[in-house]
């Protein structure tokens, strides 16, 4: 079975159970599926539970690591900005997608406002507050020499 077929099966499971949109994903490393997931926004009441995020969380749990370097993400649609960011944070090397941004917008999942907000730098109003106290927190973290990721 192809990896995209597994992603499609994930997506079908999600839509047939009323869990969210038609978005499924699979993460593969060295020819082995290490994680999979589908959109669960409605089921979990969580706007971040997109198929790609679900697959990333599943893969990381399965391999016991926060790094997915060396992995390929197969997804039924071009990743939204959040999912693309999650893939970047996870260190995923390659993404293979099915439907395009236009295909996704055509069924009501239009991400144009996110792309415009990113380009303009005006996604949500930002305000800096209590910086000195937060810098103290950062100094303590640095002193602990904690593992960076």
DSSP three-state, residue 82: helix
Question: Of these residues, 10, 19, 52, 122, which one is catalytic?
Answer: 52
CA distances from 35 to 51, 56, 92, 102, 109 (A): 11, 7, 12, 27, 24
Distance between CA 104 and CA 29 in Å, rounded? Answer: 27
Active site residue 52: yes
Residue among 20, 15, 28, 79 nearest 53 (CA): 79
Catalytic residue numbers read 52
């Amino acid at each position: 079975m192809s990896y995209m077929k597994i992603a499609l099966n994930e997506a079908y499971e999600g839509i047939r159970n009323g869990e969210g949109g038609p978005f499924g994903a699979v993460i593969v490393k060295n020819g082995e599926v290490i994680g999979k997931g589908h959109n669960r926004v409605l089921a979990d009441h969580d706007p971040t539970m997109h198929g790609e995020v679900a697959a990333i969380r599943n893969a990381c749990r399965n391999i016991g690591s926060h790094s997915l370097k060396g992995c390929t993400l197969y997804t039924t649609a071009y990743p939204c900005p959040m999912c693309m960011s999650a893939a970047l944070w996870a260190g995923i090397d390659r993404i293979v997608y099915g439907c395009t941004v236009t295909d996704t917008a055509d069924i009501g999942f239009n991400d144009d406002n996110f792309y415009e907000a990113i380009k303009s730098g005006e996604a949500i109003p930002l305000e800096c507050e209590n910086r000195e106290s937060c810098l103290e927190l950062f100094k303590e973290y640095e002193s602990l020499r904690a593992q960076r990721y």
